[in-house]
Amino acid sequence: MIGSSALAWIKDILDPQQRGWEEFYRNRWQHDKVVRSTHGVNCTGSCTWMIYVKNGLVTWELQGLDYGALESGLPPYEPRGCQRGITFSWHLYSPTRVRYPYIRGALLDLWKKARAMHDDPVAAWKSLVEDPQARRRWQQARGKGGLRRTDWDTVLEIMAASNVHTIKTHGPDRIIGFSPIPAMSMISHACGSRMLQLMGGVLISFYDWYCDLPPASPEAWGEQTDVPESADWFNAKLLAVMGSNLNMTRTPDCHFACEARHNGSKMWVFAPDFNQVAKYADEWVAINAGQDGAWWMAVNHVLLKEFHHDRQTPYFTDYLKKYSDSPYLVELIEDGAEYRCGQLLRANRLAAYRGVENGDWKFLMWDQAEKRPKMPMGSAGFRWGKEKGKWNLVLQDGLDQSAIDPMLTFLSDHDAVLQVRFDDFGQASTISRGVPVRRIATADGRTALVTTVFDLLMAQYGVPRGLGKGYPRNYDDDAPYTPAWAEKYTGMGRETLIRFAREWAATAEKTGGKCTIIIGAGINHWYHGNLIYRAGIHALILCGCVGVNGGGLAHYVGQEKLAPMEPWSAIAFAKDWLPAPRLQNGPSFHYVHTDQWRYEKEFSDYHALPVSSERSALAGGHTMDVQVRAVRSGWLPFYPQFNRNSLEIVREARAAGAESDAEVVDYVVEELKSGRLKFAVEDPDAPENWPRVWYIWRGNALLASAKGHEYFLKHYLGTHTNAIAEDLAKDSVKEVVWRDEAPEGKLDLVVDLNFRMDSSALYSDIILPAATWYEKADLNSTDMHSFIHPLSAAVPPCWESKTDWQIFRAIAEKFSELAARHFPDPIADLVASPLAHDSPAEIAQPDMKDWKAGEVEAVPGLTMPALKVVERDYKNLARQYISFGPSARKNGLGAHGTHYGIEPEYDEALRTRPTVAWEGHSYPSLAEDQHVCDVILNFATVTNGELSHRAYREMEEKVGLPLAHLAEKQRSVRTSFEDIVSRPRRLLNSPMWSGLTNDGRPYAPFTYNVECLVPWRTLTGRQHLYLDHPLYLEFGEHLPTHKPKPSATQYADLQFTEEAGPTLMLNYLTPHGKWHIHSTYGDNFRMTTLSRGVEPLWLNDQDAAAIDVADNDWVELFNDHGVMVTRAAVSARIPRGICLVYHAPERTCSIPKSPLRKYRRAGGHNSLTRTRLKPNLMAGGYGQFTYHLNYWGPVGCNRDTHILVRKLPDLKW
Amino acid sequence: MNIRAQISVVFHLDKCLGCHTCSLACKNIWTDRPGTEYMWWNNVETKPGAGYPSLWEDQQKYKGGWDAGGKLKSTSKSRIVANIFHHPSMPTMDDYYEPWTYDYQELFNAPEGADQPTARPISLVTGKHIDIEAGPNWDDDLGGSPIYAAHDPNLAGLTAQQRQQLFAVEQLVFFYLPRICNHCLNPACVAACPSAALYKRGEDGIVLLDQKRCRAWRACVPACPYKKSYYNWSTGKSEKCILCFPRIETGQAPACFHACVGRIRYLGVLLYDADRIREAAARPNDELIDAHRSLILDPFDPEVIAGARKCNMPESTIAAAQKSPVYQYVKVWKLALPPHVEFRTLPMLFYVPPMAPVMAARQGDALNHVSQDLFHDIEQARVPIAYLANLLAAGNESKIGYALRKQKAVRWYRRAQTVGDVDAQTALRMLREADCSAEEADAIYRLTALSTFEERFVIPAGHRELGVEALQDPLKHKQQAGFGFIAGPRRGL
């Protein structure tokens, strides 16, 4: 029968009985229940998933398909979900699941002994941590096995005791917490944060520490990050994708980019390797790693020359005048025979505006019609003045309301052409170029020499305009920033670049700005990432691409968009009870406390600075010194605050006679001025300044995000380390106390909440079993789409796990129980906070004067950190935790500079929703996870239309223009948790966000600003091409520029490392990977099966051959910081000279030992990194350069790292 | 005419992002059991590459499919008995991989020591420590390119210049090829089974492997040239992709289709003439694409409809065939092509060939792109037409060129409509040259870019009451369904 009559085998209808067996597969498919949830993981995906339950167990998951449709003509949002998300059901019952509380055995034994001797748990804890031998015993056991299953009562008591002891002995700001990216499961984040803030502890930031914060966004827009939702890519007619591997990291959204191509959009992909997203490219630009900035600088050269100078493009010119700082007047400073760039000319320097309110913070344009400088509205001075209604982008003079037609350039109408000095960092030299200038008489009888920002840009980019020498002759002239110049860096030819620039501009001109840059960590993680971003942002602004659908900068790294921010932040930062949270920027915290500052010398070793400029002490020297200064001047936060207990300080002040809070603050200022009280950052290695207790939840703080992981092990944990770097900073630091012996093991206790045994869990003292994302109620939002949806419980928390909210509630309850004895009465704490963005502190410091040097008076909140007395009620902390507190009702809510009252809604909630009552008062309940979700949804502008309307009304008063119509149609919308469980709901228009979403319009940032003339939250209120902060001028970053990548020698990762046999030095890149979201899922055997069983080292085939490495060989990667052992994925896809280890493998699975480091267990990808902070990102108290958590500050970059690689000589487990 | 319905599918390779979500949707539901670990009913391959199992396309090695004379290459009446205990072209574990997990418990249970514990990989077959040397997706994104990509069977016959295209500028190019069972019209697996355990369902053409009848001969494994039948070492039965028939029957897309976030997949009914299968499968290589396409009938043709009715096809199936997106892609637009049609099983899974970025050339120290074309320059693309033709058109390059030209023309046309920087007349001329009208271009654009779930997946009514009725009164079935004990397949006869 076979072969000859094959078709006989294909029966149309078989005997029905024979098909009864088909039930076999039907039975498998059958299930009992389907529940909506998602994955609270930091991928920004925010995908809605349906979880299938069979026999009471979760069996599998498939994507939900019920996102609402956006406007017609757009592809739908479905399905959303990726290969990683779809494996999550494995984790619930997997062998890595943390099912019970665990504790380090060495600690448990000591604790039991101590507890037997002390009736009071606090006394027991004190006896342990004050016994150096005992303390070292469990510290040195960290990460080395010996975990024991224990019970909740034991660990709750230890944690509560350690909290009480730490507060009493050192101060509450020695208790720290870290949990990343709230938006991915915001209730689960808010819980630990809330408990800590009620206690006076410290929450460490994440977005900047992860280096996901793009500093160029605050620089240009005064905005942490605001980006189009992915559906808006479809509206882009030119997509430039760089440093963002959409397939890997934007998996559920990638289709929009592909589908846009089928709608006639052009796609350019920039990547050194042929990566996944390059498969979609019409043109794949095989750019040299980290040189994207040079590309954009030259693109901008072409854009300015061809579309702004040779021919003026009306759309572009009009846009620049209305929405950018290009027409603003900049003062030029005489400097020898030449001039250099200065700050924006302040309005009050002119007689006409001498007496205006906040005249230092109002600026000038040259009006073409009346031929005089005028003072446009909308700047920070208008925002924070008493006079309201002039903070807008209407081009009128702020004094006489006359119209302004700003002059972009003085090219055809100037008083002089002066030679201005520009930096050429590539050649470590300067260039002198002619700039057209006007002379303006100032009120004090001097003459100010001014030009426009636009003219400075033309000169900086080197566009020849007949202004004399110093300019390149043409595109082929190798001078900054021509297409020929760019070739040296990018490796890409000028013809391709020029063609790109022309396509870019032509597309923008034809479509009104529909060019989008999709950008991400591949760019942002370089030391000079802000400059690369900024160059791209310039191309967008120069062609009117920002604030339009289909245009703009689409930066997606880290799920930073927590849509219902106002009520969430009130809860998370306990602002409903207390006025001042302790919020710490992670990069500074870890750089200082893990002592990474000790392992480097001057930052000028690797950071190119202007060769011949006037510089203060800040533009040179050691990063740590700038850090100390930044804390002292209130630019950045730092905790612990002081070298004394912040509770004790208030007690001392009162003992010394201070009665009011103001007098307490005065006392503290005097103590600081006299030097009797010091900032802890000035002596971080002193035991009184160490952080002591660390709570980690929802993140892998000890490895995945720990740049300088081995220094974490050494200085935080006090356990083994594979770092071999030695102290270098001693002779370089001036502002910080140098201690020859670096402390090891600063932390008394490390607690990790986790559902899996990840690297952080493995190294913690206490591991608490946390509910998974299929076992709890929570909220989830993202910037990838404009919907909010829930996590909900498909099954109850398995084994002994609890939700994060209930875990911190339990810790709070035990703490309050012990506090009843140790803190029977409320106690006053003194909280220091940095100058805050979206507050009047944005106009605090027009220049960089140091109170310590006597240059300026020490005034809290102005020239130094703000200081506030805060009453803490530890005995009632657990009750506060579960109660939505009265301050929210009294003060209202707001975020990003918005505000609205909630009294009617709060009172209604007391009548209609769950409440808790204690000491005679009732409060809306936060006792259960779902209560918290509902409070957030009920009080947020994006989910409650009436509140959005109210917030717009308040904004109208500030702006002086109609806005409330944006919320008119949505006023009756109210969203509950049940609503979003039934279906994801679209976010409403809200003044807190800069995009408009009416009628299914996709969210695109800054459309609100462009269409409603609401200013950006910057110095001028416009988009900033020019950054005139004095520190930026000193660092030569006032103009967009190109600074060379730090070389391997300069960056000094290999100073103490010796070659061992045939080795190869490679630039070590850690882009986001395909088989994990950070470390999550990377230990899932499904993901390792689809990859190679480990996260391999990807390297070029010729590079591999040079050290005799074949595909799948074991290799050893090492530098001063540590070592990693993995296998090689040899591929011609990878260019020579670089290598990839995709971020972020665990060090728990399949890690052999390292022959080079005494056969100790090798580490993870962050064993090879160490962070270096960029000092000019520490500026503060000045317009958009004003601190806010996860908004501003240096970022934890690590992309410029170099390693050595060799074939592993000896595989040992 | 013998008119039959076949649920058929299109995978739009230009849209595939290589995420493997499809593979895992399938794995969770169907192959998450002992004996099925290594089965990937749905897998995704990087091309160029060796695929899974390694080098499956190499029929010199595996001898799958049919020869032009209508004979199975893997076996014959005379060889079947001889090959029962050892089949020379059967893939071995080396061609697949040894599935593994990790000793995670070590992380919890390791006693305190001098160093950090680690979870070593352990074999799911032996339970012992394992040195991982292969996996189901080992050359993902060109890992090990000198070994795997360089030996892709589809490179056969490519010129040095075409190879240079793929391997240009020291970097490779790649795209993805997701694969499931093709539910062929002329399935070699069905023909090869000595126990007649495999059959093609009459109502929808899904090829199934009866878990009661299977006797572990495993003849289906080598016979399938796509290596989509797998042997379950635990139950002793072979298993394969079932196109999620329990989902299809209830109006739901197969899990891998549902889960596809690239939105690359389309599913719908095709009507075909079963009487012409053998003839079509016997045509010379360069005629195979047309022959295969000619089997597919026009669901709007009154004669076809009458013929279908005569074959007892439900009206709902005919209606579904008329709305089938697959019909558009395969028959009307000729954009989608079957994989390795030269294997002559008449696969009913069709691929739209991918576009690729333009080549670059080194001039001095710098690279410049060689084309000034706004979009996809077909002649200068990094993936040569010849390579795609080996994969999707039995070497017939004109079929690939046609599909790529049309895709490109549609893009120009949409550019002219949405931006206007390309001339509308030029766009229309390009459409004409690509054998495409403006209406067709709009339709292609809409189905490619905008289509909703319901437009991508047009699933015919399951009519389960008819299937049940053949065994039992549906009312009784409803009352009794789910009671009783279910026994899984057991090893042995």
pLDDT tens figures, A110-167: 999 999 999 999 999 999 999 999 999 999 999 999 999 999 999 999 999 999 999 9
CB neighbours of residue B450 within 10 Å: 18
Nearest residue of chain B to residue A1097 (CA atoms): B143
Higher-scoring residue by pLDDT: B470, A176: A176
Instruction: Kindly report, residue by residue over A8-38, the tens digit of the pLDDT.
Output: 555 555 567 788 899 999 999 999 999 999 9
pLDDT interval class at B163 (50, 70, 90): confident
CA A1099 vs CA A1049, A1139, A1179, B31: distances in Å: 21, 5, 39, 34
d(CA A815, CA A938): 30
| Beta-carbon pairs below 8 A across chains A and B | 406
Instruction: Using an 8 Å CB-CB cutoff, list chain B residues near A1152.
Output: 118
* Range B1-87+153-493 classified under CATH 3.30.70.20: yes
Q: pLDDT at position B457, please?
A: 98
- Which residues, at least 6 apart from A726, have a Cβ–Cβ distance to it below 8 Å? A599, A1056
B449 has a chain A CB within 8 A of its CB: yes
CA B115 vs CA A106, A165, A708, A1163, A1213: distances in Å: 15, 31, 19, 11, 11
Q: What integer is the mean pLDDT of B177-204? A: 95
Q: pLDDT at position A630, please?
A: 98
A1148/B174 CB distance under 8 A: no
CB neighbours of residue A742 within 10 Å: 14
DSSP A1107-1175: TT--TT-EEEEEETTEEEEEEEEE-TTSPTTEEE--B---SSBS--EEGGGTTEEP--GGGG---B--G
Q: pLDDT at position B164, please?
A: 76
d(CA A790, CA A765): 32
Q: Rg for chain B (alpha carbons), in Å?
A: 24
CB-count burial class (<10 Å; 0-12, 13-18, 19+) for B127? exposed
Q: pLDDT at position A853, please?
A: 97
> What is the interface pTM, i.e. ipTM, of the complex?
0.97
CA B125 vs CA A311, B34, B38, B93, B355: distances in Å: 71, 9, 10, 11, 41
A839 phi, psi to nearest 5 deg: -140, 170
**What percent of chain B is predicted at pLDDT more than 70?**
97
| Residue the block writes with tokens 């900068």 | A553
Name the β-bridge partners of B6.
B270
In the predicted model, is pLDDT for residue A6 greater than 90?
no
Question: From the candidates B102, B116, B417, B456, which should be mutated to test the interface with A, based on the most A CB atoms within 10 A?
Answer: B116
B171/A83 CB distance under 8 A: no
Contact A237, B418 (CB under 8 A): yes
In the predicted model, is pLDDT for residue B440 greater than 50?
yes
Choose the closest CB to B171 out of A63, A87, A274.
A274
Mean pLDDT estimate for chain A: 96
Question: Between β-strands A766-769 and A749-754, what pairing exists: parallel, antiparallel or unpaired?
Answer: parallel
Q: pLDDT at position A613, please?
A: 64
Choose the closest CB to A16 out of B262, B471, B489.
B471
Handedness of CA A211, A217, A218, A224 (dihedral sign): negative
Instruction: Using an 8 Å CB-CB cutoff, list chain B residues near A282.
Output: 355, 357-358, 374-376
Q: pLDDT at position B83, please?
A: 67
Mean pLDDT estimate for chain B: 94
Instruction: Kindly report, residue by residue over A178-207, the tens digit of the pLDDT.
Output: 999 999 999 999 999 999 999 999 999 999
Contact B168, B68 (CB under 8 A): no
d(CA A400, CA A1145): 62
Domain residue limits, chain B:
1-87+153-493
d(CA B445, CA A675): 72
A998 phi, psi to nearest 5 deg: -60, 150
Instruction: Kindly report, residue by residue over A704-756, the tens digit of the pLDDT.
Output: 999 999 999 999 999 999 999 999 999 999 999 999 999 999 999 999 999 99
Instruction: Using an 8 Å CB-CB cutoff, list chain B residues near A1074.
Output: 19, 140-141
Q: Cite the DSSP H helix spans in A983-1047.
A: 1007-1012, 1030-1035
Q: pLDDT at position B81, please?
A: 62
In the predicted model, is pLDDT for residue B77 greater than 70?
no
Q: pLDDT at position A5, please?
A: 42
By residue count, chain B amounts to 493
Choose the closest CB to A1101 out of B23, B118, B146.
B146
Q: pLDDT at position A1, please?
A: 29
DSSP state for residue A366 in the 8-state scheme:
E
In the predicted model, is pLDDT for residue A925 greater than 50?
yes
d(CA A896, CA A1086): 42
In the predicted model, is pLDDT for residue A607 greater than 50?
yes
Nearest residue of chain B to residue A758 (CA atoms): B107
Q: What integer is the mean pLDDT of B84-101? A: 88
The region, left, alpha or beta by phi > 0 then psi within -120 to 50, assigned to residue A811 is alpha
Query: Which of residues 290 through 329 in chain B touch A, CB cutoff 8 A?
Result: none
Q: pLDDT at position A4, please?
A: 36
Q: pLDDT at position A13, please?
A: 52
- Cis geometry, peptide bond prior to residue B136 (ω within 30 degrees of 0): no
Instruction: Using an 8 Å CB-CB cutoff, list chain B residues near A29.
Output: 29, 244, 246-247
Nearest residue of chain A to residue B101 (CA atoms): A1085
B29/A60 CB distance under 8 A: yes
B143/A146 CB distance under 8 A: no
pLDDT interval class at B168 (50, 70, 90): low
B200 has a chain A CB within 8 A of its CB: yes
Contact A170, A647 (CB under 8 A): no
d(CA A164, CA A155): 14
Query: Which of residues 371 through 410 in chain B touch A, CB cutoff 8 A?
Result: 372, 374-376, 382, 407, 410
Q: What integer is the mean pLDDT of A493-507? A: 98
In the predicted model, is pLDDT for residue A560 greater than 90?
no
Instruction: Using an 8 Å CB-CB cutoff, list chain B residues near A1160.
Output: 115
Instruction: Using an 8 Å CB-CB cutoff, list chain A residues near B28.
Output: 59-61, 86-87, 89
What amino acid occupies position A180?
P
Choose the closest CB to B259 out of A62, A506, A1089.
A62
Contact A389, A370 (CB under 8 A): no
Q: pLDDT at position B425, please?
A: 95
C-alpha dihedral (A235, A237, A240, A244), degrees to nearest 10: 30
CA A524 vs CA A209, A277, B193: distances in Å: 12, 18, 57
d(CA A408, CA A670): 49
Strand residue runs (E) in B125-241: 175-179, 198-200, 207-209, 229-232, 237-240
Q: pLDDT at position B493, please?
A: 52
Q: Which of B60, B67, B76 is nearest to B151 (CA)?
A: B60
DSSP state for residue A397 in the 8-state scheme:
B
CB-count burial class (<10 Å; 0-12, 13-18, 19+) for A800? middle
Contact A935, A926 (CB under 8 A): yes
Q: pLDDT at position A615, please?
A: 78
- Which residues, at least 6 apart from A750, have a Cβ–Cβ distance to it below 8 Å? A142, A693, A694, A696, A702, A716, A717, A763, A764, A765, A766
Q: Which of A602, A865, A13 is nearest to B313 (CA)?
A: A13
**What percent of chain A is predicted at pLDDT more than 90?**
97
Contact A474, A458 (CB under 8 A): no
d(CA A854, CA A851): 5
A263/B190 CB distance under 8 A: no
Instruction: Kindly report, residue by residue over A220-274, the tens digit of the pLDDT.
Output: 999 999 999 999 999 999 999 999 999 999 999 999 999 999 999 999 999 999 9
**What percent of chain B is predicted at pLDDT more than 90?**
86
Query: Which of residues 1 through 60 in chain B touch A, CB cutoff 8 A?
Result: 4, 14-15, 17-21, 23-25, 27-30
What amino acid occupies position B381?
A
Q: What integer is the mean pLDDT of A830-845? A: 98
In the predicted model, is pLDDT for residue A833 greater than 90?
yes
Q: What integer is the mean pLDDT of A434-443? A: 98
Instruction: Kindly report, residue by residue over A929-958, the tens digit of the pLDDT.
Output: 999 999 999 999 999 999 999 999 999 999
Contact A253, A80 (CB under 8 A): yes
Instruction: Using an 8 Å CB-CB cutoff, list chain A residues near B111.
Output: 145-146
Question: From the candidates B369, B430, B452, which should be mutated to test the interface with A, based on the most A CB atoms within 10 A?
Answer: B369
Nearest residue of chain A to residue B410 (CA atoms): A262
d(CA A89, CA B25): 11
In the predicted model, is pLDDT for residue B170 greater than 60?
no
DSSP A727-750: ---TTT-SSS---SS--S---SEE
Instruction: Using an 8 Å CB-CB cutoff, list chain B residues near A287.
Output: none
Choose the closest CB to A1091 out of B101, B140, B200.
B140
Q: pLDDT at position B221, please?
A: 96
Q: What integer is the mean pLDDT of A66-94? A: 96
Q: pLDDT at position A860, please?
A: 98
The region, left, alpha or beta by phi > 0 then psi within -120 to 50, assigned to residue A470 is left
pLDDT interval class at B166 (50, 70, 90): confident
Instruction: Using an 8 Å CB-CB cutoff, list chain A residues near B255.
Output: 62
Q: Which of B71, B172, B255 is nearest to A3 (CA)?
A: B71
CB neighbours of residue A643 within 10 Å: 19
A144/B20 CB distance under 8 A: no
What amino acid occupies position A818?
L
Instruction: Using an 8 Å CB-CB cutoff, list chain B residues near A239.
Output: none
Q: pLDDT at position A242, please?
A: 97
A204 phi, psi to nearest 5 deg: -95, 140
